[in-house]
Amino acid sequence: MGRILQLGNADNWQQIYNTSVAAVNVTPDTHVPIAEITVPFLIDTHVLAVYITTNIPEGRDWNFAGFLNQKFELGLTVGGVPEADELSRRKLWLNRIKLVIFPPLTSTYAISFDVPKWFKNVSLTVWEYIGADFDSTEQTLNQDIQPTLARIESKIDAL
């Protein structure tokens, strides 16, 4: 049957990061783009929700909010600095909660956000899923295997 999550229950979500960043104005008409925003800790949950907002200038119709990047350390060091690689990159939209389910390839990973260069400010929130997360196929296999293992163990013990 597959993986079963209870995404619709608000109690299954916990906010883990919230920040607001403003671009630096150089002149009244120009600004330095907002740099990549890196969440300052590793994440061990593979189901996240992300929400991004910005002030949209009057007369503009913006929908694109940038990218969420999943990164992990390779365990290699080049020039004295640990190398990290981008495992996944997800497109984000303004004023919409984006559900992100990463494959569990590593136990922990980092995330960062790239926002469009025209944003003068950005607010973002990240939640992690803390509810029940199980694979019904794995559960069925375990139910079938446990009795067989018990039977084999009892036969070995009898020898």
CB 1 within 8 A of CB 136: yes
| pLDDT value at residue 136 | 58
| pLDDT value at residue 140 | 58
Low-confidence ranges of the chain (pLDDT < 70): 1-2, 75-86, 134-144
* Whole-prediction pTM: 0.77
Q: Considering only CA atoms, which of 60, 76, 78 is closest in space to residue 120? A: 60
Please state the length of the chain: 159
| pLDDT value at residue 29 | 86
| pLDDT value at residue 103 | 85
| Tokens, residue 158 | 């009898």
For 93, list phi and psi in degrees, rounded to 5. -120, 150
pLDDT tens-digit readout, 8-47: 888 899 999 999 999 999 998 899 999 999 999 999 999 9
What domains, with CATH codes, occur in the chain? 3-133 (2.60.120.1300)
Exposure string of 82-111, with b = 16+ CB inside 10 Å and e = fewer, is eeeeeebebebebeeeeebebeeeeeebbb
Question: Which residues share a beta bridge with 15?
Answer: 127
User: What CA–CA distance (Å, rounded) separates 40 from 112?
Assistant: 9
